[in-house]
Amino acid sequence: MKVQAALHKEFKIARIDDRLYSAFIEHMGRAIYSGIYEPGHPQADAHGFRKDVAALVRDLNIPAIRYPGGNFVSAYNWEDGIGPIEDRPVRLDLAWRSKETNHVGTNEFAVWAKDVGIDMMLAVNLGSRGLSDARNFMEYVNHPGGTYWSDLRRSHGVEDPYDVKMWCLGNEMDGPWQIGHKEAKEYGRLADETAKALRGLTPDAEMIVCGSSNDEMATYPDWERGVLEECYENVDYISLHKYFGNSSGDTLNFFGKIEETGRYIQAIGGVIDFVKAKKRAKNDIYICFDEWNVWYHNREEDSKNWKSWDWPEAPALLEEDYNFEDALFIGGLLNEFIRRSDRVKIACIAQLVNVIAPIRAEKGGPAWRQTIYYPYQFASLYGRGDALNVSVNGPTYDCSVADDVQYLDVAAVHNTDEQAVTLFILNRHLTDTVDLDMDLAGFVNAKVAMHKVMAGHDLRLTNGPDNPDRVSPKDGSGVGVEDGKLRGNLPPLSYHVVRLD
């Protein structure tokens, strides 16, 4: 299958915000407890955090992390997680029908985040609580001292404020399952007033308002319009969430969900523009895609389990075993975020450890990288700089979620500091090799400095504690630059990272 493509140095989409490669971690299942934190584990540090897990996290070079939820945040009392651990209450977590010991709270999480080099992005509870508690929380976190909440933080051994700049105004408030679920106007008003109050405390903080829980919600995309009409001038981002699956076993349709996500982003971009025009507003709002991942392997079974279990503590929940097909999909999805980086400034893989996560950790045992770890890592390491437009002209297919889908999915990022351009390429054809011929205008003297490939596996192959590297990238070959063109053969169902300098 021949595919012609063209890349031009000057055809820039946008400067990518580094936070496009952020993550999310929630107090649920074994994400925190026996995920990142397990006192007594042979790899635990002095604070009880697992060093083996932290090392895998550090290698991802994650810029920011959303915490502590998720659905959990909508009934969370942040004060339960501060002060001496022995005095903290055990609470019922209404979102996941579990017991929350509160052994990890804001200050412990901050220690971990600092250790792994990630900025915190904190969510406030706008479900069971409201403006006043959000204000107190920010004062505890961000105010230097001399007030009740900031001095309380100092009395807890944290002298300097954290100066957290990213604040999520609740979580999935459109979802009937959410504790404190609201109508769009009602939520939009609350978000507006909360944003104003929080900005009074930290003027340069960025506010993220909840969009729809996904693009299949009955209220989508009217929810976004209704919310933004109430708070447009006081917020900076609107959040999008989307989880993906291939329950029908239709690989091409699964891969077509990459295009479907592009439409979702485009539609919300349109809503933002509409509200901006209607309000005659001057400020711009961008997209924070703060929950995305594959989630379907155990979804139904998990859902049955947790809805009926008897309030366990840190139970195994949403521990998806990701396969090779999922890794290919995630590579393509990250390409879509790069191509849409004019609109999407922040995106968070959901989640990070154990719960729908690229990293898994056994209680008392080893930690390992799931298949999806690798495309996420490549994008985070090499996807920083300017997103460039790539025109692709090759065979296409139609599927139930999208038409005219190119078999070859390409994104390009130009790092001007390092004078390198990285191509992220997915051949989603089930049987055909792509014979690639890509014009490299503006990069004619480039040479291939790195080529990594994920290919040749059964689509259902996974990694596990006994075979942690079974699905992992290898050095690629057969791709090179000749006469200002990138040429080479890309096998069916393969993902490539080609770095030119």
Q: Which residues are catalytic?
A: 172, 291
What 3-state DSSP class applies to 173? coil
Query: If binding means CB under 6 A, how many residues of this protein chain bind ligand AHR?
Result: 10
Q: Is 38 one of the binding residues for ligand AHR (CB under 6 A)?
A: no
The amino acid at residue 66 is R
* Closest separation in Å from C-beta 213 to ligand AHR: 6
125 Cβ contact partners less than 8 Å away, ≥ 6 residues apart: 73, 74, 75, 76, 77, 78, 133, 134, 170, 180
| Selected binder of ligand AHR within 13, 231, 314, 350 (CB under 6 A) | 350
- Which span (63-71, 244-252, 458-466, 472-480) binds ligand AHR, by CB under 6 A? 63-71
Binding mask 156-175 for ligand AHR (x = CB under 6 A): ---------------xx---
The two structure tokens encoding residue 177? 């399952």
- Which span (30-38, 64-72, 189-197, 304-312) binds ligand AHR, by CB under 6 A? 64-72
User: First CA to last CA across the chain, in angstroms?
Assistant: 27
390 Cβ contact partners less than 8 Å away, ≥ 6 residues apart: 5, 6, 7, 410, 411, 412, 423, 438
66 Cβ contact partners less than 8 Å away, ≥ 6 residues apart: 22, 23, 24, 25, 121, 122, 123, 166, 168, 290, 348
Q: Which is nearer to ligand AHR, 26 or 260 (CB)?
A: 26
Instruction: Provide φ and ψ at 177, rounded to 5°.
Output: -75, -15
Does the CA dihedral 458-246-328-34 come out positive or negative?
negative
Residue 97's Cβ-count burial label (10 Å; 0-12, 13-18, 19+) is middle
Q: Which is nearer to ligand AHR, 235 or 350 (CB)?
A: 350
* Closest separation in Å from C-beta 201 to ligand AHR: 25
Instruction: Provide φ and ψ at 19, rounded to 5°.
Output: -70, 5
- Which span (44-52, 69-77, 373-381, 412-420) binds ligand AHR, by CB under 6 A? 69-77
Q: Is 26 one of the binding residues for ligand AHR (CB under 6 A)?
A: yes
Q: Is 291 one of the binding residues for ligand AHR (CB under 6 A)?
A: yes
Nearest to 380 by CA among 59, 12, 21, 8: 21
Q: Which is nearer to ligand AHR, 94 or 399 (CB)?
A: 94
Q: Is 69 one of the binding residues for ligand AHR (CB under 6 A)?
A: yes
Q: Is 74 one of the binding residues for ligand AHR (CB under 6 A)?
A: no
Q: Is 494 one of the binding residues for ligand AHR (CB under 6 A)?
A: no
| Selected binder of ligand AHR within 48, 68, 70, 358 (CB under 6 A) | 70
Decide the pairing of beta strands 206-210 and 237-244. parallel
Q: Is 48 one of the binding residues for ligand AHR (CB under 6 A)?
A: no
Contact residues: ligand AHR, CB under 6 A: 26, 69-71, 171-172, 213, 291, 350-351
